Chain A
Amino acid sequence: AQKITQTQPGMFVQEKEAVTLDCTYDTSDPSYGLFWYKQPSSGEMIFLIYQGSYDQQNATEGRYSLNFQKARKSANLVISASQLGDSAMYFCAMTLDFNKFYFGSGTKLNVKP
């Protein structure tokens, strides 16, 4: 069963504008963690931001923020003031037990100058 869904295979955004990458998840477990990773063309997985299921506030890390809507089971990534270097694949991931991660299919973001 699909646990993480990313419905946007590709997105374009103008440099300096904000962009939202969508992620929905599926679990009945009350305890889980949600992550976003950036994967540039070189292939490595770069941790961006984390949201715990019990966190009351939305996570923020610099230009990244996570719009966590628990009732809707969504955890959208917002990148403010996009930069050319933000062009990459972005993966949403969930862990229920901090043992293994379930990844979405990814969104390829292209930032246009």
Chain B
Amino acid sequence: EPEVTQTPSHQVTQMGQEVILRCVPISNHLYFYWYRQILGQKVEFLVSFYNNEISEKSEIFDDQFSVERPDGSNFTLKIRSTKLEDSAMYFCASSEARRIRRGGGYTFGSGTRLTVV
């Protein structure tokens, strides 16, 4: 079964440092997403990306965040100057199309646990 791959699985960074989280979506998918889950809290939508531009972003996704699809396979989330409150699990997801369909077609990666110290 095709997977969304995220690297690294765990990253520790110093406060104020830039961090890039990487994701390889499923190859035929066209829509890409990032979500965040602060420890013990619900999963929250950050941003969606299609056709090389952001299609929607949440209020969490401020100027410290950016996304990019630097080549044909990777999808990255950059946090420019990390804060302690950025510590969370970050999930990448991808989908083939934007329509309701049964179950599959919207797949989450296994997440990157970011710890800011």
Least Cβ–Cβ distance between A21 and chain B, in angstroms: 15
Q: Are A98 and B45 in contact (CB under 8 A)?
A: no
Verify if B2 is at the interface (C-beta below 8 Å from A): no
Is the CB of A100 closer than 8 A to any CB of chain B? Answer: yes
**CA–CA, A41 to B58, complex, Å?**
27
**Stretch of B18-26, B62-70, B73-81, B106-114 that contacts chain A:** B106-114
B111 touching A91, Cβ below 8 Å = no
A residues 1-52 in Cβ contact with B at 8 Å? 31-33, 35, 37, 42-45, 47, 49-50, 52
List the B residue with the shortest CB-CB distance to A6: B42
Instruction: State A105–B38 Cα separation when bound (angstroms).
Output: 11
B113 with A43: CB separation less than 8 A? yes
For the complex formed, measure the closest distance between the CB of A23 and the CB atoms of chain B, giving whole angstroms.
Answer: 12
- Kindly list chain B residues whose C-beta atoms are within 8 Å of the C-beta of A99: 31, 48, 55-56, 98
Is B95 in contact with chain A by the CB < 8 A criterion?
Answer: yes
On chain A, the residues within 8 Å of B110 by CB distance are 42-45
Contact surface of A with B, Cβ cutoff 8 Å: 31-33, 35, 37, 42-45, 47, 49-50, 52-53, 61, 91, 93, 95, 97-106
Pick 21 A–B contacts, CB within 8 A, sort by A. A31-B100, A32-B100, A37-B108, A42-B110, A43-B110, A43-B113, A44-B108, A44-B111, A45-B111, A47-B108, A50-B103, A52-B102, A61-B103, A93-B43, A99-B55, A99-B98, A101-B43, A102-B45, A103-B43, A103-B44, A105-B41
Known A37-B108, A45-B43, A47-B108; further 15 A-B contacts with Cβ < 8 A: A43-B89, A43-B110, A44-B110, A45-B91, A45-B108, A45-B111, A47-B103, A47-B104, A49-B103, A93-B43, A95-B100, A98-B97, A98-B100, A99-B48, A103-B43
